[in-house]
Amino acid sequence: MSQTPDSAVRTYIADHRAAFLDDLAEWLRIPSVSAQPEHADDVRRSADWLADTLRRTGFPTAEVWPTKGAPAVFAEWPSGDPDAPTVLVYGHHDVQPADRADGWGTEPFEPVVRDGRMYGRGAADDKGQVFFHTLGVRAHLAATGRTAPAVNLKLLVEGEEESGSTHFRALVEANADRLAADVVIVSDTGMWSETTPTVCTGMRGVADCEVDLYGPEQDIHSGAFGGAVPNPATVAARLVAALHDEDERVTVPGFYDGIAELTDAERDLIAELPFDEEEWLRTAKSHATAGEAGYSTLERVWARPTAEVNGIGGGYQGPGGKTIVPASAHLKLSFRLVSGQDPYAIEAAVTEWITARIPAGIRHSITWGAPTRPCLTPLDHPALQSVVRAMGRAFGAKIRFTREGGSGPAADLQDVLRAPVLFLGISVPSDGWHSPNEKVELELLLKGVETTAYLWSDLAANWPRPAAAGDPSARPAT
Amino acid sequence: MSQTPDSAVRTYIADHRAAFLDDLAEWLRIPSVSAQPEHADDVRRSADWLADTLRRTGFPTAEVWPTKGAPAVFAEWPSGDPDAPTVLVYGHHDVQPADRADGWGTEPFEPVVRDGRMYGRGAADDKGQVFFHTLGVRAHLAATGRTAPAVNLKLLVEGEEESGSTHFRALVEANADRLAADVVIVSDTGMWSETTPTVCTGMRGVADCEVDLYGPEQDIHSGAFGGAVPNPATVAARLVAALHDEDERVTVPGFYDGIAELTDAERDLIAELPFDEEEWLRTAKSHATAGEAGYSTLERVWARPTAEVNGIGGGYQGPGGKTIVPASAHLKLSFRLVSGQDPYAIEAAVTEWITARIPAGIRHSITWGAPTRPCLTPLDHPALQSVVRAMGRAFGAKIRFTREGGSGPAADLQDVLRAPVLFLGISVPSDGWHSPNEKVELELLLKGVETTAYLWSDLAANWPRPAAAGDPSARPAT
């Protein structure tokens, strides 16, 4: 297949830009706040609106998929080419709560275009980033003269991302056949900055637990008994303190097993980014960096696993003092995981490590939440190469690489569908996700459109064709 | 002075026992609950009742001393002998709250005598133990034929002990001249058991602080930032963990400075007590002993200082998990102190130790409460010897020695009046202090009467007479 001509794509986008922005504004007017029960109808309305719009875009199939919570939207547009790769695009149509009184300059659900930006809740997170795929596929068809995309294109747009994706994994598992894909492209992230376009190649996973420690059967007098019985708050603190060594490495045996160390090439790519530590600390609202010896801040956040105390509590926490040995103490721990770590192996290792450290006279329990796996797509993966080329053409700039330190439902897609996950996002840090005056930069939004217009052709052209049977290198590993 | 004849004392007590118990019951009917504002009038009524009763007992002076809270009662009965020692007896006339519905078999403020016990709130803690001094001094006079006690006898009975002794130190400081004494006898403690009469020789002191640790300016995302900024909950835990070494000794430099190690004789006296570890653990509602290596449980509680976490908190403590790096964490620490430790030196040492352990990016503050000094009267102190002889005659048994692990207002008396403190209590562990069905054993109550009837004569007879001027050993050291 030939490359899509850039000029044809740009002309098509310029011609349809106004209608595209009008449609996005109409969607933003639906306050699809999934966390607020009073907006349940709006979330359903948002799903219906999107399914209609995807049908109008040309998707032969566009369905609203109910869940036990808010509905998702699924759409599918087959390529017609039996050898074409299948791409699943992920996004979400629900939004964070928003109230004018929180500091919005305009009504959050009355989108306004000003100074090249569209302001409104969901403009960047995530309706804008879902929506660039609609004009993108139309531009792709117009510029190539095709009647169907060069790839088998699927979209899954969930309705509960902002309220915990509670039913997402079950939805994916129940529909794994229809969602099956060679690669997943998540459009729910951002780029480094307006001037440094980037593609994200992975997210950390997470395993989290609560550790409950019980000592005396009730709070007891620290004068009468203190110094002669074990104190569960002390035990909790000692567990936390023992989790790291002096180099801030996690001490749980086996914790780092299976992790591929960062290569020099990967470290160079991270070091290329124009990282400003002062600015990063302002974003982190923190006053110093810290962490595992031998790694930079970005390496620590993106490429290294952690053990973090999310909460600790035990004994008296009110005003003044109370001379007790507390009856119990509680820890909330979470472990960010990177590629190569299996959450269940980490859970087992941490459980064993904690259990071995519980002294006589202290009872304990450990409760694990549902883990999220890490995901990381290798830099030489053909889909990643396609995304980089497509973005490079759209942005006219070198595309660099980032990762996400957080964890998300994308990992469920990777996990259930056994497909690599890439992150194609055009949002920038100033877009104000979850904050008042959320906006999207229109120029970047249209670069997103343009990227996908190139991407499907590039992916189809460069995807490894099926090889002779028995050749295990025919498809990229997931 | 000659010894008081035992038979005369016993006869006097037998003759006046009924009226004595009637009077005590009358006092117990006044619900002098200092912690409950609706009982403020009852606390005042209790003070008036006691002052009247002390005047009827013969005290030439018996005054109600107002405080900014509940009133105390002060009474004084001079010996007439210019060389007689001065004894200040301490107790309290307020009581813990009590409600029939909490599990009382009878009305808590309607005392009942049954099976040789008087049941009622305050029977043991502390009205009964204050009250044995009234019949005691009468028996002392009757048996010796004196018209005034052999010692200068003072009583200070506070009204806020059960609500924190908030104004007690100020009261003592303001009246230090009138309260001046050679020895303080506290009747607000207990004995080892009915069959093992004991005298308590000291209490631990306490210094307590809150440590506030601040990291990010708000809770931040543990995915986006975790592993790259300091976590104040981790810092809190590390402080707690570093407080003790592997032998459970406190690591703060200087912490043990000035403490006299237990002598073999002192350890033998503690080991003589019929200590049952299983029983002690039941009382402690704990499932194992623990503590400083090289010491027994009683030694740990009575004679060794501690560092205890009374409370710890930081980050998310609700149900489930929350992937944050917390903005702050908070510690409540208390340090039990033993003779030889200066609370202010300990505060300075702990403050310096904590401050040196705060990493970059964490702000902290340390707030100390008002400390209580430890008190300990040497075994060879003449007043202690007198108490042991007097109790021995009353109980017809060998008197052994205990200490209290807790801390109390007695230390304020020692501190302000510069007088040694002894603890003469006849209560036993089954008396149910602060619990439903509080009671006092009448036989033990009358042993208390009998002890004090002997004690004032013994103390006067064996108190070191003033020596030649310039002899610093003339009076026991305080």
Tens digits of per-residue pLDDT, A248-275? 999 999 999 999 899 999 999 999 999 9
Residue B55, C-beta contacts closer than 8 angstroms, at least 6 positions apart: B62, B75
Instruction: Enumerate residues 6+ apart whose C-beta is below 8 A from A412.
Output: A165, A168, A169, A172, A372
How large is the average pLDDT for residues B441-465?
A: 96
- In the prediction, which pLDDT does A476 show? 43
The SS3 assignment for B249 reads coil
B367-385 average pLDDT score: 93
**pLDDT for B112:** 98
Contact B237 A240 (CB under 8 A): yes
What pLDDT is recorded for position B467? 53
Specify the pLDDT at position B5. Answer: 75
Look at B361 and A324 and tell me if their CB atoms are within 8 Å: no
Q: Is the pLDDT of residue B265 over 80?
A: yes
Q: Residue A149 pLDDT more than 60?
A: yes
Q: Which helix (H) or strand (E) holds B73?
A: strand B72-77
Q: Which residues of B touch A291 (CB under 8 A)?
A: 227-229
Q: Would you call A291 and B227 a contact, using CB atoms and an 8 Å cutoff?
A: yes
**Which residues, numbered 138 to 197 in chain B, qualify as contacts with chain A under a Cβ-Cβ cut-off of 8 Å?**
none
Residue B163: the pLDDT is 87
What is the structure's pLDDT at B470? 43
Give 3-state DSSP helix, strand, coil % of chain A, rounded to 5. Answer: 35, 20, 40
Separation CA A230–CA B308 (nearest Å)? 10
B361 vs A286: CB contact, 8 Å cut-off? yes
Q: DSSP letter at B244? A: B
Does residue B172 carry a pLDDT above 90? yes
- CA-nearest residue to A337 within chain B is B223
**Touching check for B294 and chain A: CB below 8 Å?**
no
Q: Class assignment of domain A6-203+374-462? A: alpha beta
pLDDT greater than 50 at residue A470: no
Q: Do A220 and B286 touch (CB under 8 A)?
A: yes
Q: Do B290 and A329 touch (CB under 8 A)?
A: no
Residues of chain A with CATH 3.40.630.10: 6-203+374-462
Model pLDDT, residue A131: 98
Q: What is the reported pLDDT for A10?
A: 97
Q: Is B475 a residue whose pLDDT tops 80?
A: no
Give residue B443's pLDDT band: very low, low, confident or very high (50, 70, 90).
Answer: very high
Say if residue A75's pLDDT is above 60.
yes
Band (pLDDT 50/70/90 cuts) for residue A437 is very high
> Three-state SS for A76?
strand
Distances (CA, A) of B384 to A315, B185, B202, B455, B472: 38, 10, 11, 10, 20
State the sign of the Cα–Cα–Cα–Cα dihedral A78, A81, A82, A85. Answer: negative
Whole-complex ipTM: 0.89
For the stretch A417-433, pLDDT in tens is: 999 999 999 999 899 88
Tell if the CB–CB gap between A310 and B322 is shorter than 8 Å. yes
Residue A477 confidence (pLDDT) above 90: no
Predicted confidence at residue B79, as pLDDT, reads 97
CB atoms within 10 A of CB B470: 6
First-last CA distance in chain A: 25
DSSP B78-110: --S-TT--EEEEEEE--B----GGGT-SS-TTS
- Residues in chain A within 8 Å Cβ distance of B244: 234
Q: Do B360 and A406 touch (CB under 8 A)?
A: no
- Whether B371 shows a pLDDT value over 60: the answer reads yes
Phi, psi of A465 (to 5 degrees): -65, 155
- Indicate if the pLDDT at residue B157 is higher than 90: yes
What does the pLDDT average to over A395-414?
Answer: 92
Concatenated DSSP letters of A362-408: -EEEEEE---B--EE--TT-HHHHHHHHHHHHHHTS--EEEEESS--
Residue A348: pLDDT over 70:
yes
Tell me the pLDDT band of B469, cut-offs 50, 70 and 90: very low
CB-based contact (8 Å) between B370 and chain A? no
Instruction: Pick A315's closest partner by Cβ from B224, B285, B310.
Output: B310
SS3 A171: helix
Q: How high does pLDDT run on average in chain A?
A: 94
**Range list for CATH 3.30.70.360 in chain B:** 206-259+305-368
Give the closest residue to A325 by CA, choosing from B310, B174, B327, B281: B310
Q: Cβ(B346)–Cβ(B204) under 8 Å? A: no
Neighbours of B30 (CB within 10 A): 23
Radius of gyration of chain B (CA): 25
In this structure, of A56-65, A147-156, A459-468, B215-224, the range with the lowest mean pLDDT score is A459-468
Of A300, A310, A363, Cβ closest to residue B316: A310
Could you tell me the pLDDT band of residue B476, with boundaries at 50, 70 and 90?
A: very low
Chain B hits for A361, Cβ within 8 Å: 286-290
Q: Is B160 strand, coil or helix?
A: coil
Q: Is it the case that residue A472 has pLDDT exceeding 50? A: no
Q: Residue A355 above 70 pLDDT? A: yes
Asked if pLDDT for residue B17 goes beyond 80, the answer is: yes
Cross-strand partners of B210: B332, B367
Residue B477 has pLDDT above 50, yes or no: no
Q: Is the per-residue pLDDT at B260 higher than 90?
A: no
Q: What was the pLDDT predicted at B293?
A: 98
Q: Which of B310, B354, B435 to mutate to test the interface with A (most CBs of A within 10 A)?
A: B310
Q: What is the assigned CATH class of domain B206-259+305-368?
A: alpha beta
Is this model's pTM higher than 0.95 or not? no
Q: What is A205-259+305-368's CATH number?
A: 3.30.70.360
pLDDT band at A475 (very low <50, low <70, confident <90, very high): very low
- CB-based burial, B348-366: b 16+ in 10 Å, e otherwise: ebbeebbeeebeebbebeb
| Closest residue by Cα to residue A163 from A210, A94, A98 | A94
pLDDT at A153: 98
Q: Name the pLDDT band for A322 (thresholds 50, 70, 90).
A: confident
How many alpha carbons lie under 13 Å from residue A139 in its C-beta half-sphere? Answer: 32
What is the Cα–Cα distance from A388 to A200, expressed in whole angstroms?
Answer: 10
